[in-house]
């Protein structure tokens, strides 16, 4: 009897609050991340007769129709990364080191274009440079034929403008935290300015630049909306995944599974190269004396301001285009002269369900993200153990899974017993939570690392139990980090297309799905009105983010 009692006591002791949270999180992540992922990996190795087979991989690597998309994707990613670096690095140098005008506005425009809905760029550049685009038509009137925007060039244009902000934000952060003395030392040792930049400044920011480049590479590898809209014949991997899966609806998902495995393999490989190749050389800098901001002569100052402002405005242009076109009168698919609110009338009449869906699903997802994000980041930061490191790894894994792939994984896993979720709001919410939780976890963790353990110990020691201490002290102190992370999670959730497009059903379609289908249907006015709703919500959320973080928050 004694023995039984003490075992029960031990078990009870073990199942304290934090262990329950830990096991619950692990179970949920297994159900909604590991299980779907393994289902798809498993499927990719099974042929129609249910036997082990490499036939889908063989098909992929032997048929040009398939393997060409891998090359296409890699070409797009590499070129985008190079171009984004070529724009982002000099721009970061100019804004951090020279006294150009309007730095704050340039920064804000660039952040907004990064956080804008992912497919708005493609839509807007089609509006401007497409077959019937404003600029195309303008030039046609004076007899100039614009090169076609569709295909490889268009994808590169849109990706570069959309993603160079990653490089810009990462690098300008690093540039302004190089201590002045480092460059002064180089100058003092007799280096010319160019030599100094090449031998000191660039190598020191290299790891940060690499981190930014990885973000560009991964985002361009994962993005689905842009190549789908503007790529036309130029097929990249995520588009192929979507088409394969959609054409196989009702059949098996094996080929799509094999493609998904290839994509995840590529992005994991790139991430690992960055992690083990570059991050070893990470120089931790705390600038006691931030670098000098050089005063330019008026002429140079105007020139550099104009160049920087031009880049920022071009990057921001899609959002202006979207908002403007949403107010233009339409006649079916064609824009006509004059302004009106009819596009908005149409969406409120026809598509209000989508709007309600986006906001309902996103709010539910964010609530779950906030609660679990807070608890999990606490486990990972403050209660280090093997299981909690595993939790950390699982939480961050969705970084390497493109939305379309996660969508397929979940669809395949949850359209059959034991858990049937396909077509329900739950499957969309689950996908959002899994994909967007890392933002909240990262910013909560960053804040948690700054909270000294003695703060909690002081509370415990004054007679408050560890669990109550978490809610009375730690959670309160984490709040700014959680909130700013949650806003980023929120922005990316409302704009999410790639997993939504896989998982939606008639009843659960969201705004981004509707924009996509409206564009495909050439109903540009309503698409613009919907996109404007997202854009305005995004801008308002960013302003809230700025207010919460007192302007010191970083969106990357």
Partner 1 sequence: MSHSVKICNVIKRYSDFTAVDNISCEIKEGEFFTLLGPSGCGKTTLLRMIAGFNSIDGGEIYFGNKVINNIDAHKRDIGMVFQNYAIFPHMSVFDNVAYGLKARKVPKNQIEGRVLEALDLVQIKNLKDRKPNELSGGQQQRVALARAIVIKPGVLLMDEPLSNLDAKLRVQMRTIIRKLQRDLGITTVYVTHDQEEALAISDRIAIMKSGKIMQLDTPTDIYKKPKNTFVAGFIGTSNFLDAKVTYDSGMKPSIKFEGGVEYPVKLKRKLDSVTVSIRPEQFTINNPDGKGIPGQIQMYTFLGDFANYEIKLANGQTVEANEYTKDIDFVRKIGDKVRLDFNPDKVSLFDQDGMEAYL
CA 258/CA 306 separation, integer angstroms:
48
Cβ(128)–Cβ(135) below 8 Å: yes
Q: Select the residue interacting with partner 1 from 473, 539, 548, 556 (CB under 8 A).
A: 473
Q: Select the residue interacting with partner 1 from 477, 544, 548, 556 (CB under 8 A).
A: 477
In this chain, which stretch among 172-180, 232-240, 471-479, 498-506 interacts with partner 1, using CB under 8 A? 471-479
- Please report, as residue ranges, which positions from 206 to 245 form the binding site for partner 1 (by CB under 8 A): none
In this chain, which stretch among 105-113, 284-292, 380-388, 473-481 interacts with partner 1, using CB under 8 A? 473-481
- Residue 548 engages partner 1 in binding (rule: CB under 8 A): no
CA-nearest of 289, 176, 279, 158 to 229 is 158
Nearer to partner 1, 198 or 458 (CB): 458
In this chain, which stretch among 220-228, 276-284, 362-370, 452-460 interacts with partner 1, using CB under 8 A? 452-460
In this structure, are strands 415-416 and 419-420 parallel, antiparallel, or unpaired? antiparallel
At residue 301, the 3 state secondary structure works out as helix
Rounded to a whole number of angstroms, the minimum distance from the CB of residue 545 to partner 1 is 21
Nearer to partner 1, 478 or 514 (CB): 478
Nearer to partner 1, 64 or 463 (CB): 463
In this chain, which stretch among 148-156, 181-189, 235-243, 456-464 interacts with partner 1, using CB under 8 A? 456-464
Q: Select the residue interacting with partner 1 from 180, 476, 507, 521 (CB under 8 A).
A: 476
* Structure-derived torsion over alpha carbons of residues 129, 132, 133, 136, reported in degrees to the nearest 10: 60
Other CB atoms within 10 Å distance of the CB of residue 490: 25
- Residue 465 engages partner 1 in binding (rule: CB under 8 A): yes
- Residue 461 engages partner 1 in binding (rule: CB under 8 A): yes
Rounded to a whole number of angstroms, the minimum distance from the CB of residue 393 to partner 1 is 23
CA distances, 264 to each of 98, 221, 281 (Å)? 41, 10, 26
SS (H, E, C) 159-189: HHHHHHHHHHHHHHHHHCCCCHHHHHHHHHC
Rounded to a whole number of angstroms, the minimum distance from the CB of residue 383 to partner 1 is 14
Q: Nearest 5°: CA angle at 273, between 175 and 271?
A: 80
Instruction: Collect all residues with Cβ–Cβ distance below 8 Å to 68 and sequence separation of at least 6.
Output: 235
CA 105: distance to chain centroid? 23
Q: Nearest 5°: CA angle at 284, between 280 and 290?
A: 145
- Residue 12 engages partner 1 in binding (rule: CB under 8 A): no
Retrieve residue 74's tokens. 């890699």
Q: Select the residue interacting with partner 1 from 27, 356, 390, 460 (CB under 8 A).
A: 460
Rounded to a whole number of angstroms, the minimum distance from the CB of residue 465 to partner 1 is 5
CA 171/CA 90 separation, integer angstroms:
9
Retrieve residue 47's tokens. 């042929």
At residue 66, the 3 state secondary structure works out as helix
What is the widest separation between alpha-carbon atoms in the chain?
97
Nearer to partner 1, 3 or 62 (CB): 3
Nearer to partner 1, 78 or 467 (CB): 467
Nearer to partner 1, 463 or 506 (CB): 463
Q: Select the residue interacting with partner 1 from 147, 190, 463, 551 (CB under 8 A).
A: 463
At residue 254, the 3 state secondary structure works out as helix
Rounded to a whole number of angstroms, the minimum distance from the CB of residue 550 to partner 1 is 14
- Residue 389 engages partner 1 in binding (rule: CB under 8 A): no
- Residue 416 engages partner 1 in binding (rule: CB under 8 A): no
- Please report, as residue ranges, which positions from 336 to 365 form the binding site for partner 1 (by CB under 8 A): none
In this chain, which stretch among 122-130, 244-252, 373-381, 459-467 interacts with partner 1, using CB under 8 A? 459-467
CA 115/CA 494 separation, integer angstroms:
11
Retrieve residue 123's tokens. 């839509």
Nearer to partner 1, 460 or 520 (CB): 460
Nearer to partner 1, 151 or 466 (CB): 466
Residue 32: cis peptide before it, omega within 30 degrees of 0: no
Binding residues for partner 1, rule: CB under 8 A, are: 452, 454-455, 457-466, 469, 473, 476-477
């Amino acid at each position: 009897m004694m023995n039984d009692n003490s075992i029960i006591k031990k078990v009870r002791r073990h199942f304290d609050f934090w262990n329950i949270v830990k096991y619950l999180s692990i179970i949920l992540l297994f159900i909604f991340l590991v299980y779907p992922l393994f289902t798809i990996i498993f499927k990719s190795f099974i042929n129609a007769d249910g036997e082990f087979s490499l036939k889908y991989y063989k098909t992929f690597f032997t048929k040009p129709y398939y393997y060409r998309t891998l090359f296409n994707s890699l070409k797009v990613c590499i070129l985008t990364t190079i171009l984004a670096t070529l724009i982002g690095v000099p721009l970061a140098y100019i804004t951090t080191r020279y006294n150009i005008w309007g730095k704050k506005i340039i920064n804000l425009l660039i952040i907004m274009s990064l956080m804008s809905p992912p497919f708005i760029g493609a839509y807007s550049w089609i509006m401007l440079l497409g077959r019937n685009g404003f600029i195309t038509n303008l030039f046609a009137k004076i007899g100039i034929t614009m090169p076609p925007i569709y295909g490889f060039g268009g994808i590169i244009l849109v990706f570069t403008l959309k993603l160079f902000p990653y490089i810009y934000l990462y690098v300008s952060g690093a540039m302004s935290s190089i201590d002045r003395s480092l460059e002064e030392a180089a100058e003092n040792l007799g280096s010319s300015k160019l030599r100094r930049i090449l031998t000191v400044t660039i190598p020191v920011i290299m790891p940060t630049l690499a981190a930014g480049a990885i973000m560009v590479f991964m985002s361009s590898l994962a993005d689905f909306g842009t190549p789908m809209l503007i790529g036309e014949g130029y097929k990249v991997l995520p588009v192929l995944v979507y088409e394969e899966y959609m054409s196989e609806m009702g059949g098996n998902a094996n080929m799509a599974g094999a493609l998904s495995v290839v994509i995840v393999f590529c992005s994991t490989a790139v991430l690992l190269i960055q992690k083990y190749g570059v991050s070893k050389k990470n120089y931790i800098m705390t600038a006691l004396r931030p670098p000098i901001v050089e005063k330019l002569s008026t002429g140079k100052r105007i020139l550099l301001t104009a160049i920087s402002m031009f880049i920022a405005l071009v990057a921001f242009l899609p959002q202006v285009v979207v908002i403007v076109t949403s107010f233009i009168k339409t006649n079916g698919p064609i824009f006509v002269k004059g302004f009106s609110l009819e596009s908005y009338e149409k969406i409120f009449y026809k598509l209000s369900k989508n709007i309600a869906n986006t906001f309902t699903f996103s709010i539910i997802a964010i609530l779950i993200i906030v609660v679990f994000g807070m608890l999990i980041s606490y486990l990972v930061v403050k209660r280090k153990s093997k299981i909690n490191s595993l939790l950390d790894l699982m939480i961050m894994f969705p970084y390497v899974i493109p939305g379309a792939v996660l969508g397929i994984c979940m669809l395949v896993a949850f359209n059959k017993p034991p858990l049937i979720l396909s077509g329900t709001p739950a499957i969309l919410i689950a996908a959002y939570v899994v994909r967007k939780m890392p933002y909240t976890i990262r910013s909560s963790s960053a804040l948690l690392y700054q909270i000294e353990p003695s703060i909690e110990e002081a509370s415990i020691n004054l007679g408050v139990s560890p669990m109550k201490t978490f809610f009375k002290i730690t959670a309160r102190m984490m709040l700014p980090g959680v909130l700013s992370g949650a806003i980023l999670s929120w922005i990316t959730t409302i704009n999410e297309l790639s997993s939504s497009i896989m998982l939606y059903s008639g009843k659960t379609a969201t705004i981004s799905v509707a924009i996509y289908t409206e564009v495909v249907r050439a109903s540009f006015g309503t698409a613009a009105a919907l996109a404007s709703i997202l854009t305005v919500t995004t801008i308002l959320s960013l302003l809230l983010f700025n207010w919460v973080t007192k302007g010191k928050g970083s969106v990357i």
